[in-house]
């Protein structure tokens, strides 16, 4: 008999950024009990000016941010194979939600305390950032006063314009076309600067060609580029 299709569950994964802003997973993974109904992604730019006499326009100052907002439900009265924490089906729901609260709790990193990096993955959706805020609403209490159901409202922020896909690797090990993350040019950036930050300082010519950049030494702040494209086979500069 054919097996029923397995529901793809959203998952939280702890990540770290190295000094070159490369991302790696630490191994901690937390599946959600119920997938969110909606995901809200907000893009914003930092602007200055616009209030001077004479109607001067606002200026982009080279900084952008992206925020993910979502709601999650947890309920210990409903059987769930992937649950964590208490094995008591009528236990305190916070035994489940504490695994999510972990991502807003500062952890010791050397001599500093910083919140963990978070990678949220659900099907083709991927978002990386730091948990900015979290609200937990407890409801449906047992006779013993234990909260059995919880709603968590989560806001995750990234200090760059971020648009990423989560897709399996292709046959050649490269991510499929159109699924690579886009990087945002900062104030004063050149293609060489962006290539160096991505760990490919010698590939700047190919990156510029692949992104149709006519002048690699003069990038407009906020320009989105794919710095992970294969190197071009012919140089233009």
Q: What is the pLDDT of residues 226-235, one digit of tens each?
A: 776 654 433 3
Residue 236 has pLDDT above 50, yes or no: no
* Start and end residues for every CATH 3.10.350.10 domain found in the chain: 180-237
Rounded Cα distance between 78 and 91, Å, is 11
Tokens of 107: 């952890």
- Of the pLDDT bands very low, low, confident and very high (cuts 50, 70, 90), residue 178 is very low
Q: How many CA atoms lie within 13 A of 209 on its CB side?
A: 12
Rg of the chain in Å (alpha carbons): 22
pLDDT reported for residue 147: 92
Domain 11-164: state its class.
mainly beta
Over residues 55-71, mean pLDDT: 72
Residue 72 has pLDDT above 50, yes or no: yes
180-237 is classed CATH 3.10.350.10: yes
Q: Which residues contact 19 (CB under 8 A, 6 or more apart)?
A: none
Which residues does residue 74 pair with via DSSP β-bridges, in sequence order? 150
Q: What is the DSSP letter of 182?
A: P
Hey, is 28 helix, strand or coil?
strand
Rounded Cα distance between 170 and 159, Å, is 29
pLDDT reported for residue 57: 58
CA distances from 49 to 114, 173, 222 (A): 33, 46, 17
Contact between 42 and 127 (Cβ < 8 Å): no
Over residues 218-224, mean pLDDT: 75
73-82, 133-142, 197-206: range with highest mean pLDDT: 133-142
Please give the residue that has the higher pLDDT: either 161 or 208. 208
Residue 13 has pLDDT above 90, yes or no: yes
- Of the pLDDT bands very low, low, confident and very high (cuts 50, 70, 90), residue 47 is low
* Start and end residues for every CATH 2.40.30 domain found in the chain: 11-164
Q: What is the DSSP letter of 54?
A: T
pTM of the predicted protein model? 0.60
- For 100-143, the pLDDT digits (tens) are 999 999 988 778 888 899 999 988 888 999 999 999 999 889 88
């Amino acid at each position: 008999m054919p097996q029923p299709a397995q529901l793809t569950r959203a998952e939280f994964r702890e990540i770290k950024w190295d000094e070159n802003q490369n991302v790696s997973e630490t191994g901690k993974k937390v599946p959600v009990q119920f997938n969110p109904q909606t995901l809200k992604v907000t893009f914003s730019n930092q602007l200055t000016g616009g209030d001077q006499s004479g109607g001067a326009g606002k200026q982009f100052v080279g900084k952008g941010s992206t925020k993910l907002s979502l709601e999650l439900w947890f309920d210990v009265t409903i059987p769930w194979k992937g649950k964590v924490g208490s094995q008591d089906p009528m236990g305190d729901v916070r035994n489940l939600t504490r695994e999510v609260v972990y991502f807003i709790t500062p952890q010791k990193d050397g001599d500093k305390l910083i919140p963990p990096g978070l990678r949220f993955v659900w099907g083709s959706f991927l978002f990386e950032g730091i948990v900015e805020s979290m609200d937990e609403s407890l409801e449906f209490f047992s006779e013993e006063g234990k909260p059995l159901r919880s709603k968590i409202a989560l806001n995750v922020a990234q200090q760059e314009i971020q648009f990423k896909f989560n897709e399996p690797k292709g046959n050649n090990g490269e991510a499929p076309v159109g699924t690579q993350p886009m990087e945002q040019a900062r104030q004063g950036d050149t293609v060489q600067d962006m290539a160096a930050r991505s760990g490919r300082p010698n590939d700047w010519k190919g990156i510029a060609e692949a992104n149709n950049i006519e002048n690699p030494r003069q990038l407009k702040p906020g320009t989105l580029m794919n710095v992970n494209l294969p190197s071009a086979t012919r140089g233009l500069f």
